[in-house]
């Protein structure tokens, strides 16, 4: 099982992950701050087991100040009043001192790691090419000016791949990020919901159907990971919601929606599509409120591998 804690070096794919501090440094610093005879600061309690962060009832850690490039940056000499730590942040007491490990840690690091982002760019572009094949016949009978609102899923994944490529170079615009995050999340789940209903009704678990279900679930997952790592501002989310609502209007009022297994259920599918639009917004707002979980992994988000830092990663 992969463990992202305070280790000097961890490997992911072709790149490397720099740790925030050497093993034990944060623990030793904390244990030297105002001990009460039990190896902990007076008035503080331990959070999340041995070797973790001491916090007070408000989720503050003693002598910790946010410091660029460090998950736990102990104030030299410790002491002083308790201050907010990047570990506690705005997530409240329940997240104080938390460290992610295993799959959760991997998911937290992926949006910041150049090697993983390059892989996702390739996956999204290739998946979009495959997806457009499903729309060849529909596009042939659709006026060209309606093409931007017809192949929903492949357009979303293609846009997502472009967004990740822009993020790698540090040039991803917030409005574009919000648009593709919400669209990829929504249309990934749309396919899972619609084809999932078909699977439950017919029991026809053919390989092609299972492939579509798994790849579109992956679309929703990658979109949510980026919502957490690169949260969109309110105006950008409003713009994205406007586009998704317009797309729904064209899909179910004009008739540009993707082919559904049972055309008699198109009204139900339209309601589900509208609900998924709002679910995408809720996911984005929830991700923005909770913040980027990479700060709970021990990985240095300002070190090698961070998107936009040219020359820091081969």
Number of folded domains in the chain?
Answer: 2
pLDDT value for 153: 95
User: Is residue 278 domain-shared with residue 235, that is, in the same domain?
Assistant: yes
User: Is residue 205 domain-shared with residue 292, that is, in the same domain?
Assistant: yes
User: Is residue 142 domain-shared with residue 231, that is, in the same domain?
Assistant: yes
Q: Pick left, alpha or beta for residue 108 (phi over 0 → left; psi -120 to 50 → alpha; otherwise beta).
A: alpha
pLDDT value for 235: 96
- Nearest alpha-carbon partner for 116 in 262, 16, 234, 43: 16
Alpha carbons within 13 angstroms on the beta-carbon side of residue 104 total 11
User: Is residue 115 domain-shared with residue 90, that is, in the same domain?
Assistant: no
Angle at the Cα of 187 from the Cα atoms of 105 and 132, rounded to 5 degrees: 110
- Nearest alpha-carbon partner for 281 in 179, 167, 135, 151: 179
Residue at a domain's end among 81, 99, 117? 99
Please give the Cα distance from 11 to 196 (Å, whole number). 36
User: Is residue 168 domain-shared with residue 277, that is, in the same domain?
Assistant: yes
- Nearest alpha-carbon partner for 285 in 231, 230, 218: 231
User: Is residue 206 domain-shared with residue 137, that is, in the same domain?
Assistant: yes
pLDDT value for 204: 86
Residue at a domain's end among 66, 99, 132? 99
pLDDT value for 216: 96
**Assigned domain for 314 exists:** no
pLDDT value for 87: 34
User: Is residue 195 domain-shared with residue 93, that is, in the same domain?
Assistant: no
User: Is residue 181 domain-shared with residue 75, that is, in the same domain?
Assistant: no
**Assigned domain for 4 exists:** no
**Assigned domain for 179 exists:** yes
User: Is residue 117 domain-shared with residue 83, that is, in the same domain?
Assistant: no
pLDDT value for 303: 54
pLDDT value for 301: 57
Helix (H) or strand (E) holding 68: none
Residue at a domain's end among 55, 71, 99? 99
Alpha carbons within 13 angstroms on the beta-carbon side of residue 6 total 18
Please give the Cα distance from 259 to 255 (Å, whole number). 10
Measured over the CA atoms of residue 60, residue 65, residue 71 and residue 76, the dihedral's sign is negative
**Assigned domain for 266 exists:** yes
**Assigned domain for 130 exists:** yes
Burial string for 135-153 (b: 16+ CB within 10 Å, else e) reads beeebeebeeeeeebbbbb
Could you tell me the residue range of the domain that residue 114 belongs to?
Answer: 105-296
User: Is residue 91 domain-shared with residue 111, that is, in the same domain?
Assistant: no
Please give the Cα distance from 180 to 161 (Å, whole number). 9
**Assigned domain for 301 exists:** no
**Assigned domain for 41 exists:** yes
Average pLDDT, 10 consecutive residues per value, the chain (314 residues): 33 34 37 39 39 40 33 32 33 49 87 93 96 93 94 96 94 94 98 93 89 96 96 96 97 91 89 97 94 78 51 36
User: Is residue 87 domain-shared with residue 227, that is, in the same domain?
Assistant: no
User: How far, in Å, are 145, 164, 200, 314 from residue 115 at the CA level?
Assistant: 37, 12, 38, 9
**Assigned domain for 12 exists:** no
User: Is residue 95 domain-shared with residue 109, that is, in the same domain?
Assistant: no
């Amino acid at each position: 099982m992969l463990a992202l804690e305070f280790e000097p070096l961890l490997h992911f794919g072709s790149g490397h992950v720099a740790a925030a501090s050497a093993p034990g440094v944060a623990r030793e610093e904390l244990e030297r701050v105002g001990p009460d005879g039990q190896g902990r600061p007076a008035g503080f309690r331990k959070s999340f087991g041995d070797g973790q962060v001491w916090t007070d009832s408000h989720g503050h850690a003693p002598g910790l100040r946010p410091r660029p490039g460090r998950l736990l940056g102990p104030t030299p000499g410790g002491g002083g009043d308790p201050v907010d730590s990047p570990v506690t942040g705005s997530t409240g007491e329940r997240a104080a001192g938390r460290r992610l490990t295993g799959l959760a840690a991997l998911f937290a690091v992926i949006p910041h790691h150049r090697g993983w982002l390059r892989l996702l760019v390739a996956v999204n572009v290739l998946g979009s090419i495959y997806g457009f094949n499903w729309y060849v016949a529909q596009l042939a009978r659709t006026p060209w000016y309606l093409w931007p609102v017809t192949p929903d899923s492949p357009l979303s994944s293609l846009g997502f791949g472009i967004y990740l490529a822009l993020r790698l170079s540090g040039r991803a615009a917030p409005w574009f990020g919000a648009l593709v995050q919400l669209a990829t999340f929504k249309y990934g789940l749309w396919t899972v919901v619609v084809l999932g209903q078909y699977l439950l009704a017919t029991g026809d678990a053919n390989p092609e159907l299972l492939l579509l279900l798994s790849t579109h679930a992956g679309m929703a997952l990658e979109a949510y990971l980026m919502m957490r790592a690169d949260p969109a501002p309110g105006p950008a989310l409003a713009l994205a919601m406007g586009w998704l609502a317009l797309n729904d209007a064209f899909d179910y009022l004009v008739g540009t929606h993707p082919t559904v297994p049972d055309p008699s259920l198109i009204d139900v599918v339209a309601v589900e599509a509208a609900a998924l639009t709002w679910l995408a917004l809720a996911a984005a707002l929830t991700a923005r409120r909770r913040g980027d979980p990479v700060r709970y992994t021990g990985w240095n988000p300002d070190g090698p591998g961070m998107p936009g830092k040219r020359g820091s990663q081969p």
